[in-house]
């Protein structure tokens, strides 16, 4: 047996050490490539609104400022681009805070029904729901989960905002819950444009949009679902999407009803 041959075990040790080092190097290379790609993506995304605002301001300076209607129109357009830039930077900061673990999750028992009511109110107050009817199915005190209220509010805000954005006028956005013994599955459903199958696996990637120019037009940053993914990762769960083009989409995610036992984390769907 090899253990009787000291030279052989040393050789094997050196070999496995080298193998380990190579794995570390590969991992670092991957992180570095990811970082580069991220910076390239971010720069590109920042350039779009800056370039637009710059164009309007320079045109104004070149003389358009003297025409009152053109002036107002261009200033409004420049303001819209700068507002978009502001949202983008906010989303980037949120994403980076979650990724670097600067946001500590604060787990407690939370009522998904109450949380959703609060999120709905925010959309109503800001007048952001167009002619969409926001509907909540279920009752208070039924869908209680163990999660971070603030972060899950962000998840619901992003999912509902998307549902509204991609709905047709005068249609419903429905939030409902499936309560089982151990878990609560929350569904956010719309009856809008849907997502073609080939895009469904990619929409959680940062800056991925089915239609880039339309997403920007609607004030999207392409980061909403990346933020959702990261927050749900922090809850050891993830969002699933079922969507049929021209019929609508349902985004769902599962959360535990009680604090999960560390030893009870053997569920194959959980990724720790």
Q: Tell me, residue by residue from 23 to 42, as one string, x for binding to ligand ADP by CB under 6 A and - for no binding.
A: --------------------
- Closest separation between CB of residue 203 and ligand ADP, Å? 4
Is residue 215 at the binding interface for ligand ADP, with CB under 6 A as the rule? yes
Give the residue, chosen from 203, 232, 239, 255, that forms a contact with ligand ADP under the rule CB under 6 A. Answer: 203
* Cα torsion angle, 28, 33, 39, 45, sign: negative
What size, in residues, is the chain? Answer: 272
Structure tokens at 27: 């991992």
Nearer to ligand ADP, 48 or 59 (CB): 48
Closest by CA to 199, choosing from 172, 222, 176, 217, is 222
Q: Binding to ligand ADP by residue 260, rule CB under 6 A?
A: no
- Asked if 174 interacts with ligand ADP (CB under 6 A), we say no
The burial class, CB within 10 Å (0-12 / 13-18 / 19+), for 128 is middle
Which helix (H) or strand (E) is 107 found in, with range? strand 107-111
Q: Furthest-apart CA pair in the chain: how many Å?
A: 92
Among 49, 192, 256, 260, binds ligand ADP (CB under 6 A): 192
Asked if 134 is part of the footprint of ligand ADP (rule: CB under 6 A), the reply reads: no
- Picking from 32, 88, 82, the residue whose alpha carbon sits closest to that of residue 55 is 82
Among 84, 95, 151, 220, contact with ligand ADP (rule: CB under 6 A): 220
221 forms part of the interface with ligand ADP (CB under 6 A): yes
**Considering the rule CB under 6 A, would residue 162 count as an interface residue with ligand ADP?**
yes
Reduced to 3 states, what is the DSSP secondary structure of residue 41? helix
Q: Which of 114, 187 has the CB closer to ligand ADP?
A: 187
Spatial distance between the Cα atoms of 62 and 75, rounded to a whole number of angstroms: 14
Q: 242 by DSSP, 3-state: which?
A: strand
CA distance 76 to 233: 39
| Shortest distance in whole angstroms from residue 41 CB to ligand ADP | 13
C-beta of 186 vs 260, nearer to ligand ADP: 186
| Positions 235 through 254 that interact with ligand ADP (CB under 6 A) | 249
Using the rule CB under 6 A, which residue among 95, 112, 145, 195 binds ligand ADP?
195
Order of strands across the sheet that contains 183-190: 133-136, 172-179, 183-190, 248-256, 239-244
- Considering only residues 86 to 105 of the shown chain, the ones binding ligand ADP according to CB under 6 A are none
209 near ligand ADP (CB under 6 A): yes
Positions touching ligand ADP (CB under 6 A) are 158, 162-163, 166, 190, 192-195, 203, 208-211, 215, 220-226, 249
């Amino acid at each position: 047996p090899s253990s009787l041959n000291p030279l052989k075990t040393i050789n094997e040790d050196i070999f496995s050490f080298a193998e380990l080092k190579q794995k570390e190097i590969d991992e670092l290379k991957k992180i570095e490539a990811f970082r580069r790609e991220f910076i390239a993506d971010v720069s590109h995304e920042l350039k779009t609104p800056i370039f637009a605002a710059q164009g309007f301001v320079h045109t104004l300076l070149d003389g358009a400022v003297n025409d009152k209607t053109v002036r107002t129109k261009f200033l409004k357009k420049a303001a819209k681009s700068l507002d978009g830039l502001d949202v983008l930077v906010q989303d980037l900061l949120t994403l980076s805070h979650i990724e670097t673990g600067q946001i500590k999750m604060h787990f407690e028992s939370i009522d998904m029904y109450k949380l959703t009511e609060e999120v709905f109110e925010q959309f109503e107050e800001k007048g952001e729901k167009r002619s969409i009817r926001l509907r909540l199915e279920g009752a208070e005190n039924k869908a209680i989960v163990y999660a971070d209220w603030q972060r899950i509010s962000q998840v619901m805000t992003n999912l509902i905002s998307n549902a509204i954005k991609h709905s047709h006028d005068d249609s419903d956005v429905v939030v409902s819950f499936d309560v089982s013994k151990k878990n609560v599955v929350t569904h956010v459903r719309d009856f809008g444009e849907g997502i073609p199958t080939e895009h469904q696996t990619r929409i959680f990637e940062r800056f991925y949009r089915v239609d880039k120019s339309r997403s920007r037009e609607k004030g999207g940053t392409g980061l909403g679902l990346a933020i959702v993914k990261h927050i749900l990762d922090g809850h050891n769960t993830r969002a699933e999407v079922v969507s049929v083009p021209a019929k609508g989409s349902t985004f769902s995610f599962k959360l535990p009803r009680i604090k999960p036992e560390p030893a009870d984390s053997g569920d194959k769907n959980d990724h720790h």
